Structure formats: structure tokens, C-alpha cells
Structure 1
Amino acid sequence: MKKLHFILINIMLSSVLAYCYAQEKTVTFTTSAGVIKARLYNDVPNHTSVFIKKAANGDYNGTLFTRVIKEFMIQGGSPDSKNAPAGARCGFGDRRSEILPEFRNHYFHKKGALAAPRQNDDINPKKKSDMSQFFIVHGKVYTDGALDTLELIKNQPIRRKAMDTYYKPFKTELEILKKDNPREFNKRVVEINSKVDSVIRSTPGHLIFTEEQRKAYTTLGGCPHLDGFYTIYGEVTEGFEVIDAIANQPKDAYDRPKKDIRIIKVTIQ
């Protein structure tokens, strides 16, 4: 009976998940460089609804990719780019289109992530998203060792403080144990490391990549340093080669492509 109950629960959960994914909208970016398709996330409702509304109004149609950086991202949609003269600096967005962020820890900046740009913290302390434009992650592929290094650098201040608490006061005692009782020394070191790791994991702002993140960043690629700073509200499903083509365009000193890459239309299905 319990087994049947468990099976029924799994069937119900699968049905709910299937329904949720079925309701996700698909966005098609038709550009002068090719077509990019992405799905919009349901659990980032404000960003998704604003994006859909702006796309339906044609706000992004005719705009340019105004900032493209290889191994980083491609950014477009800004209203000031529609009639921008060749070589003119543009892509400043529209602060009237800002909305509060909707950070979701389970979304991260893998290649193809669709996200909202924003102004810097000094003039935008609430980290509001500028929905007048968008960016798509290009990124680069990392090795596991490189990700380990990023974790080490980010967590070093937390680790140092924890070591001051759990290791430094017992340093002399541990040095004696290391000579006289190596087995007890090893046991104490394991205990200390366990406490330090616990402190790191419980401290806000720490960095420990999940298995999903590691798999994505070491295969597809991305920009892990952006995680937690921008709202991601969708991901590309088709047209990764178009992202590559746009990111590799020759550009000027302000990262605007020398040859205009125009967003012909953005449609939602």
C-alpha cells in the first residue's frame, strides 16, 4: 500500500512539472545574424511578464546589439539604439523600465542564460533590472581546477576568520600532537576542517559550485562571476552558433559591433 501511495505521488508530481513546463513561453529573436530561441522561466514572473509585454509591443524590434564581448555576453534591445548613427555610442537603456530583482539560486549564468542588465550598485543599490534591454551569456568553458580556484579566492576571507577561531588558539598543542601522537593529530585536523567548512557553507556570500553548475561551466561554459548579481529569466534552446557569431564581431572602443547587428523582431509563443 505504501509503495502504491509513493508511485501515485510521483505520478502527480511528474504531471505537475510537465504542466508547468508546458506553460513556459518561447521567445524567438530574429536578428540580422540569425535566429535565437529561448524559453522563459515561470518562476521569475515579474521579469517574464514585463519582457513578454515589451516584446508584444514591439519595443525590441529594430534595436541593435549594442555591447558584445567575447567569452562574456551580448547585450541588445536598448531603445536608444533604434536610430543610432553608425559608430555612435548607445545602449544606455531606460531607467523608467527598472523593476525589482528576482534572484533565483537555481539559475546561473551558463552559456545562453537570458538576463536583465542593470546599473551599478552605487546608483542602483536595490539592484533593479533594466527591462528596456537584455543580455545573453556567451561565456567560456572552465576546468574543474579553475572553478576550485574561484571557490578558494571567494571563500578565503571566511576561511581565514574561521581558522582564527578553530585552529590558531590550538596551534602549539597541535604541533606537539603532530610529533607525539600523529593519529590524534589527524583526528583533530579533520574535526577542525569540518568546523571550518561548516562555517563557510553557513556564511552568506560564500561560493561552492553545485554539481549542475560544474557540469555546465566545464562543458557548455558561462560566466560564474555574474551569479547572484543579475536576474536570469530564461535560457537559449536554439541558436548558440548565432550567439557565437555575434560575440565574435569586430567592435569599437565601446564594444558596439562595427557592423550593426539588428534585432529585426522578437516574438513570443
Structure 2
Amino acid sequence: MNRLRIIRAAGFLACLSLMVSCASEKDYLVTIDTRFGKMYAVLYDETPGHKENFIDLASSGRYDSTEFHRIIDDFMIQGGDVFTKEGIPKEDWYTLPAEFNPSLIHEKGSIAAARQGDNLNPKQESSGCQFYIVEGRVYEEPELTTDMRKLQQAFTKYVQLDSNTELREAYGQLYSNQQFDSLNALMLSKKVVMEQFFNLNLGKDMRENQVRAYTSVGGTPHLDDTYTVFGKVIKGLDVMEAITQLEKGSNDKPVTPVYIKVNVELVAKKKISEDYGYQYPEE
């Protein structure tokens, strides 16, 4: 009898192991359909609360007919305002605990949760429905690894010296012409000099994955570790880029609405990798 129980238990564990293995071989493929085309995305297992919440909203059709209601070129497109669409009172708009992960950053194509600012939301909790897709821009490494706010403050003091009149005039001309990339390059060219002059460290610590991503595909590094990244667009970034170019009215809202329909479907990870070029991290 004991032997029979052991055999049965072993068989049950084998079946359970097989079920878990089969489940892990599939993932949810997200499709965001717009009038500009479709974007395809995956959601991260490292952010289980956000992943489950997004899947629930999408599979129940609640995201359908919401809009990308806020677009900023070289930054992001934001949408998915289910609560406003459904007329839910603001006091009932639920939030999600933040799920920050140093490996999940705001590189181009990342999907992250919108939220209220720190003054109203000190725990940096996420909106229960709104999300954004990152466009951002590509950075040169010196800019990426420099505290640009401190650099600006030091530079403003530095150019007040009588010996730096020409430098001050060059800065003023670039500022007047709104040539901000050239202005940043000018300040960065004096970084070492100012560090020595003021005895300052103007550097900023960046992780290897941040430097690698932001100097190649680009993104929005200043949002890292303060907004939860929970997914990534793996095909259709041209759709996002087309949306960022739309004419905008007040509050960065497109003059012509961009409605969305969101679908989620369990698909074999192997097929996702083959069809969309996404490489899953080794488990």
C-alpha cells in the first residue's frame, strides 16, 4: 500500500511538473491596434502585479476605445484611461504598488505605468490603468553620465568671470537660438575644467545596462527607478513614432483622437521569438 502511494505521488508530481513546464513555455502576446497599425508587446514576469492587471483589463475589453490622449515627441505616448471612459469616480481609481527593477529601464519601446507626481503620491504607486510607451532619444555617453542640473549650475557661475566673457556670449547666443544640443555640448566641454575649478564631482552613476541602451536605441533615463516599467513593444515601433508626430492641442492631446483596441493571447514563447525577434532571458 505504501509503495502504491509513493508511485501515485510520484506520478502526480511528474504531471504537475509537466503542467508548470508547459505553462512556462507560453507567454501573453499583447496587440495594440490603432489607425496607424498594430504594435505587438510582451509583459515582464518581474512585474507580476502590473502584468496581471494589464491582462485583466485587456482580456475583459476595458482598454478598447480608450485613446492615446497625451503625446510628446521624443518622449512618449500615453493612453489607456479606462477609469475616465467608464465614468468611475476619482475616489475609486485604484493604484498598484510600484515594482521597480534595475534590469527594466525606459529604453525605446518600453511600456511603463503612468502615475501621479511624488507630491501627491510619495510611494510612487502606479495608475491602475494608464500606461505609456517610450520613444525618448539617443544620448552621448558624456551627457548620460553627467549630472546636467549640477553642470548647469556650475556653468552659470563659471561664465560670470570676466575672463570668460566670450564663453558667456557663446552660451547666450545658443540659448537665444534654442540650440540646446549645442548648448549642452558647450557645457560638457568645460566639465573637467569646472570640476577642478569648483572642486566638484559632476558625474552621475549609471548602470551598464542603462549606458548600453541609452547610447544605442535611446529612451528616457530620467524616469528610471521612479516609474514602473512592465513591458516592451517588440514590433511596431513605427506606429508609436507616427503617433508622436500628430498635431496636438491643449495638454499634449492629439487634435484627431487615436483610439486603441487591445488584445492578449497566449502564444508559445518560441513562436514569439521566431516571429518578433524577442529573446527571452534564460530561466
Q: Confirm or deny a common fold (TM above 0.5).
A: yes
Closer, same or farther: CA 253–267 of 1 in aligned 2, 3 Å: same
Partner residue, 2:250: 253
Partner residue, 1:106: 103
Alignment of 1:31 with 2:34, yes or no, is: yes
Closer, same or farther: CA 69–19 of 1 in aligned 2, 3 Å: farther
Partner residue, 1:47: 50
Return the TM-score normalized by structure 2.
Answer: 0.63
After TM superposition, the structure 1 = structure 2 runs for residues 80-99 of structure 1, keeping only pairs within 5 Å, are: 82=85, 96-99=93-96
- In structure 2, which of residues 44, 61, 67 is the aligned counterpart of residue 58 of structure 1? 61
Name the stretch that deviates more: 134-143 or 72-81: 72-81
Residue 80 (structure 1) shift: 5.7
User: 1:48, 1:244 → 2: CA distance?
Assistant: 24
User: 1:153, 1:236 → 2: CA distance?
Assistant: 34
Partner residue, 1:72: 75
After TM superposition, the structure 1 = structure 2 runs for residues 132-143 of structure 1, keeping only pairs within 5 Å, are: 132-143=129-140
User: 2:205, 2:143 → 1: CA distance?
Assistant: 13
| Alpha-carbon displacement from aligned partner over 1:208-231 (angstroms, at most 9, x marks no partner) | 222322121111110000011111
Closer, same or farther: CA 248–19 of 1 in aligned 2, 3 Å: farther
Partner residue, 1:7: none
3-state SS in 2 of match to 1:54: helix
Partner residue, 1:242: 239
When the two chains are superposed, the root-mean-square deviation of aligned CA atoms in Å is: 3.3
Residue 95 (structure 1) shift: 5.7
Partner residue, 1:145: 142
Residue 24 (structure 1) shift: 3.5
User: 1:31, 1:93 → 2: CA distance?
Assistant: 27
User: 1:94, 1:235 → 2: CA distance?
Assistant: 30
Letter of the 2:67 partner, please give it. Answer: L
The alignment covers a number of residue pairs equal to: 200
- In structure 1, which of residues 126, 129, 151 is the aligned counterpart of residue 126 of structure 2? 129
Closer, same or farther: CA 81–99 of 1 in aligned 2, 3 Å: closer
Residue 267 (structure 1) shift: 2.7
Q: Is the 8 A contact 1:94 1:132 kept in 2?
A: no
Letter of the 1:218 partner, please give it. Answer: T
3-state SS in 2 of match to 1:25: strand
Return the TM-score normalized by structure 1.
Answer: 0.66
3-state SS in 2 of match to 1:24: strand
Q: Is the 8 A contact 2:40 2:234 kept in 1?
A: yes
- In structure 1, which of residues 244, 261, 264 is the aligned counterpart of residue 261 of structure 2? 264
User: 2:22, 2:106 → 1: CA distance?
Assistant: 25
Q: Which runs of 5+ in 2 are unaligned?
A: 1-20, 154-200, 267-283
| Alpha-carbon displacement from aligned partner over 1:137-175 (angstroms, at most 9, x marks no partner) | 110111112112247949x9xxxxxxxxxxxxxxxxxxx
Closer, same or farther: CA 128–54 of 1 in aligned 2, 3 Å: same
| Alpha-carbon displacement from aligned partner over 1:73-131 (angstroms, at most 9, x marks no partner) | 100010266499xxxxxxx9886231111111111100111110111122112111102
State percent identity of aligned pairs.
37
Closer, same or farther: CA 45–83 of 1 in aligned 2, 3 Å: closer
User: 1:95, 1:102 → 2: CA distance?
Assistant: 21
User: 1:94, 1:238 → 2: CA distance?
Assistant: 36
